């Protein structure tokens, strides 16, 4: 009956129906072409994702990608979930409870080589440059100040750990331990704090996993221990630690609360150092290649938004990050660093436009040389116990850092008109290695192609062939 009625209708309405059919078919073809143009990487294998983060301002690319709809533009429906600490975050990525996460740059490397939890974690996206600082208590600062040069009544920056060494020596003479906090054994904060201390002649201690010692305090003159980022100010105020290295907003929080003074930023320890990455398990990446590329695309767009027009969007970003679902700190505290300034002593606010960098200087590109630097520091302090060849450093970096995935995402954005080729490295010639870098607090040159020679250049720390 239905078929017959349609036939009768078709006979009487044929000219109209033919015209409608032609229009509909043309519209369908156009829509299909648009869909194909937008999905050259293929549809997402998994559309609903849960992504973890720690409450720090450098999780901003995730918050912006969510709030600006960049994830939805890629057909992804994302839940962002704050995690209790870095270990919980990593474990949940490994177990598959999280699809990916805002990670310490050293976490994918540490997990892959088996320091701590063993699992193959990869990254195709670097989340930011810089963003950390070292803060000391008011009491320690008062003891440091006589050792620091001043001009026009203000300390001259950068402040080296040479100014701290007499304080540490005094503690030792009194039989008191000098204690500092950092956020995780394979964190940028741990390595930056150690680098700064060692450059000033203060030994930060060794790890010896084969001896069951994972404290990192063997031969230490300053005792470093793990404290979760949001707890840093309160832990120092309670006198449990004398200072710490952490990301924002927890250094500025100490200033606002009047309990401590940031003495140096990581920008001054290593100019434009890589800080966080977006990490996923290798298994997840293998099972969800299109989804992975789409996540990276959304985060690249977020990073571009955060840096465009000389940080013009940072005021809006601060309002987003201040929400309890993200960082949950006062806007004033977050703005102190996110809007291109940094406050050291209360009232001593200075211009540091590159304190937080999310896109410029190829900040989002996963350079092998960045990975190798972290591996050299793991080796320097005993987390990697055995001597390794230069080739091992390069091979390990390539096992974890995935610039080819990043390049696919970037090329998609270029083809869609959402980015320009000039926004990215020249993928045809890019090797993943930066030129040798010398802008460190101790002026030592880092050449990623000669990691063992780099290790041998330090007065404090394991040499290329030495063991604990």
Q: What are the φ/ψ torsions at residue 68 (nearest 5 degrees)?
A: -90, 0
pLDDT, tens only, 43-79: 999 999 999 999 999 999 999 999 999 999 999 999 9
pLDDT score recorded for residue 40: 84
Q: Cβ neighbours of residue 368 under 8 Å, at least 6 residues apart?
A: 394, 397, 398, 401, 403, 431, 432, 433, 448
Same domain? 335 vs 432: yes
* H or E stretch covering 234: helix 232-237
Separation CA 236–CA 242 (nearest Å): 6
Give the bridge partners for 126, in sequence order.
277
228 and 327 both lie in a single domain: no
Choosing from 269, 287, 305, the residue where a domain stops is 269
Domain annotation covers residue 466: no
What is the distance between the terminal CA atoms of the chain, rounded to a whole angstrom?
Answer: 88
Question: Which residues, given as ranges, of the chain have pLDDT below 50?
Answer: 1-39
Assigned token pair, 22: 């032609």
On whether both 120 and 243 belong to a single domain, the answer is: no
Q: State whether 221 and 329 are in the same domain.
A: no
Of the residues 269, 295, 312, which one is the last residue of a structural domain?
A: 269
DSSP assigned state of 445:
-
CATH number at residue 433: 3.40.190.10
Asked whether 302 and 156 are in contact (CB, 8 A), the reply is no
Both tokens of 149, joined, read: 């040069």
Q: Is residue 410 part of a domain?
A: yes
Does the global pTM surpass 0.75? yes
| pLDDT tens-digit readout, 94-149 | 999 999 999 999 999 999 999 988 999 999 999 999 999 999 999 999 999 999 99
Q: Is residue 29 part of a domain?
A: no
Do both 306 and 422 map to the same domain? yes
Examine residue 283 and state whether it is found in any structural domain, yes or no: yes
What is the side-by-side order of every strand in the sheet holding 121-126? 77-82, 48-53, 100-104, 276-281, 121-126
327 and 407 inside one domain: yes
pLDDT score for 43: 96
The residue to which tokens 């004398």 are assigned: 242
Residue 212, classed as helix, strand or coil, is coil
Burial class (CB in 10 A: 0-12, 13-18, 19+), 5: exposed
- What integer pLDDT is reported at residue 35 of this predicted model? 38
Question: What pLDDT, on a 0 to 100 scale, did the predictor assign at position 210?
Answer: 86
| 105 located within any domain | yes
DSSP state of 270: B
Residue 17: partners with Cβ closer than 8 Å, 6 or more residues away: 10
Residues 280 and 427 in one domain: yes
Same domain? 406 vs 324:
yes
For residue 374, what are the CA distances in angstroms to 107, 204, 279? 10, 16, 15
Q: Are residues 169 and 299 in the same domain?
A: no
Q: For residue 145, what pLDDT is reported?
A: 97
Are residues 412 and 361 both part of a single domain? Answer: yes
The tokens describing 337, both together, are: 């660093």
Which range of residues forms the domain containing residue 247? Answer: 132-269
The residues, any chain, with a CB within 8 Å of residue 19's CB and separated by 6 or more, are none
Residues 281 and 215 in one domain: no
The answer to whether 280 and 292 have CB atoms below 8 angstroms apart is: yes
Tell me the residue ranges of DSSP E strands in 92-169. Answer: 100-104, 121-126, 129-130, 132-137, 150-151, 154-155
Residues 248, 313 within the same domain: no
Number of folded domains that form the chain: 2
Contact 429, 421 (CB under 8 A): no
Looking at the domain assignment, is residue 452 inside a domain? Answer: no
456, part of any domain: no
Please check whether residue 214 lies inside any domain of the structure: yes
Examine the fold and report which residue of 247, 269, 291 is the final residue of a domain before the chain moves on: 269
Q: What is the SS3 assignment for 446?
A: strand
- pLDDT score of 32: 38
Instruction: Name which of 57, 106, 45, 98 is nearest 291 in CA terms.
Output: 45
């Amino acid at each position: 009956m239905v078929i017959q009625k349609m036939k009768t209708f078709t006979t009487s309405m044929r000219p109209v129906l033919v015209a409608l059919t032609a229009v509909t078919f043309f519209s369908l073809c156009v829509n299909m072409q648009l869909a194909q143009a937008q999905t050259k990487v293929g549809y997402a294998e998994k559309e609903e994702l849960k992504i973890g983060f720690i409450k720090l301002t450098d999780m901003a690319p995730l918050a912006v990608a969510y709030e600006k709809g960049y994830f939805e533009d890629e057909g992804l429906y994302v839940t962002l979930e704050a995690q209790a600490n870095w270990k919980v975050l990593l474990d949940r990525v490994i177990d598959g409870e999280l699809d990916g996460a805002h990670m310490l740059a050293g976490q994918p490397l540490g997990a892959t080589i088996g320091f701590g939890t063993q699992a193959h974690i990869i990254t195709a996206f670097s989340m930011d440059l810089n963003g950390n600082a070292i803060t000391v208590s008011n009491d320690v600062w008062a003891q440091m100040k006589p050792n620091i040069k001043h001009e026009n009544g203000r300390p001259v920056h950068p402040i080296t750990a040479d100014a701290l060494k007499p304080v540490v020596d005094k503690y030792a003479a009194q039989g008191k331990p000098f204690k500092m906090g950092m956020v995780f054994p394979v964190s940028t904060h741990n390595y930056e704090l150690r680098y700064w201390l060692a450059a000033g002649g203060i030994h930060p201690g060794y790890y010896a996993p084969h001896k069951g010692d994972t404290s990192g305090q063997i031969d230490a003159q300053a005792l470093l221990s793990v404290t979760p980022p949001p707890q840093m100010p309160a832990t120092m105020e309670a006198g449990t630690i004398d200072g710490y290295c952490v990301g924002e907003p927890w250094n500025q929080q100490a200033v606002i609360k009047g309990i401590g003074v940031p003495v140096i930023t990581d920008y001054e320890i290593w100019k434009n150092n890589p800080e966080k990455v977006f990490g996923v398990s290798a298994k997840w990446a293998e099972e969800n290649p299109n989804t992975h590329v789409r996540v990276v695309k959304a985060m690249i767009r977020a990073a571009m938004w955060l840096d465009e027009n000389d940080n013009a969007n940072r005021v809006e970003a601060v309002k987003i990050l201040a929400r309890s679902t993200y960082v949950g700190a006062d806007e004033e505290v977050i703005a102190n660093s996110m809007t291109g300034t940094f406050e050291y002593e209360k009232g001593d606010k200075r211009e540091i436009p590159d304190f937080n960098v999310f896109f410029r200087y190829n900040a989002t590109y996963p350079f092998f040389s960045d990975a190798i630097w972290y591996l050299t520091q793991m080796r320097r302090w005993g987390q990697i116990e055995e001597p390794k060849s230069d080739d091992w450093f390069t091979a390990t970096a390539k096992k974890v850092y995935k610039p080819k995935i990043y390049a696919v995402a970037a090329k998609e954005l270029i083809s869609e008109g959402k980015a320009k080729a000039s926004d990215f490295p020249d993928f045809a010639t890019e090797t993943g290695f930066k030129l040798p870098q010398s802008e460190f607090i101790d002026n030592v040159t880092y050449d990623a192609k000669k990691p063992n020679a780099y290790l041998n250049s330090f007065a404090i720390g394991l040499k290329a062939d030495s063991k604990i």
